Structure 1
């Protein structure tokens, strides 16, 4: 996989947990490598309400997008990883910001564990973990791509 070069001026990122029915969203900033989940948006066969997404992006003004790539456990592509990569390309084309993908294996499982540990309902249909999964994807990506020592802030 080629090395990802992230411009040092990029400080805020919007992360996505792509799904065919819901798309989890999180917003994060690079200085602390922390993120917070936002409300997931509904999708129809993986297609979001682009107008709603435009409003969210306009409100938060991220420098770039990070889309979770649901690879198979052996690291190979899956149908969902191909669809997530296509979603990343569409984000980049529509909103004129770079979109990066990041291996998201097991983040939904980890997000469910977080909800259960915090006493949440195990019926994940209504209590969506998609925003938490997006948060985990984004934080993992920022940890993997830290600011270099001496970068201007």
Structure 2
């Protein structure tokens, strides 16, 4: 595996109807949102998703873990973990879970800012949240195994 500085990272803000995605480059600590990915009851079109993965050639996946504020897990947490395990199995790429509490709120604030400047028409809060997962990971590179 390449050293951290040369890693390409992809992050996923898991959802049952849609999933936010982002990519980033560790060398310059960048992260940028990708288009929303449609889900069918929490299940992606794996062929389409793997095609996107192939395009970005990541070295690491981050999947948001939606914990409750009291650290307990919900049904969505269990489903996000299952998605992360399947992603790792399908790609053989290291996959970590990252606490995503409050990222959606922060992402909505950022989206409001971009829209106020006329630049947020094609952005989604879910994909911005995925980019925030990457940025958070740069500051604190830890994760939880799915």
TM-score of the two chains, using structure 2 as the length reference: 0.86
Q: How large is the Cα RMSD of the aligned pairs?
A: 1.8
Q: Give the gaps of 5 or more residues in structure 2.
A: 117-121
The structure-2 alpha-carbon separation of the partners of 1:76 and 1:116, relative to structure 1 and needing over 3 Å to count, comes to same
Q: Per-residue deviation at 1:91?
A: 0.4
Alignment of 1:1-153 (within 5 A): 9-10=3-4, 11-119=7-115, 128-145=124-141
Q: Deviations over 1:4-25 (max 9, x none)?
A: xxx6625111000000011111
Check the 8 A contact 2:33/2:123 in 1, yes or no: no
Aligned residues: 135
Asked which structure has the greater CA Rg, the reply is 1
TM-score of the two chains, using structure 1 as the length reference: 0.82
Q: Give the gaps of 5 or more residues in structure 1.
A: 1-6, 121-125, 147-153
Q: Which has the higher helix share?
A: 2
Q: Deviations over 1:12-70 (max 9, x none)?
A: 11000000011111001212222111111100111011111111011000001000001
Aligned to 1:4: none
Q: Per-residue deviation at 1:119?
A: 2.9
Check the 8 A contact 2:65/2:77 in 1, yes or no: yes
Check the 8 A contact 1:69/1:85 in 2, yes or no: yes
CA distance in 1, matches of 2:33, 2:115: 18
CA distance in 1, matches of 2:114, 2:129: 15
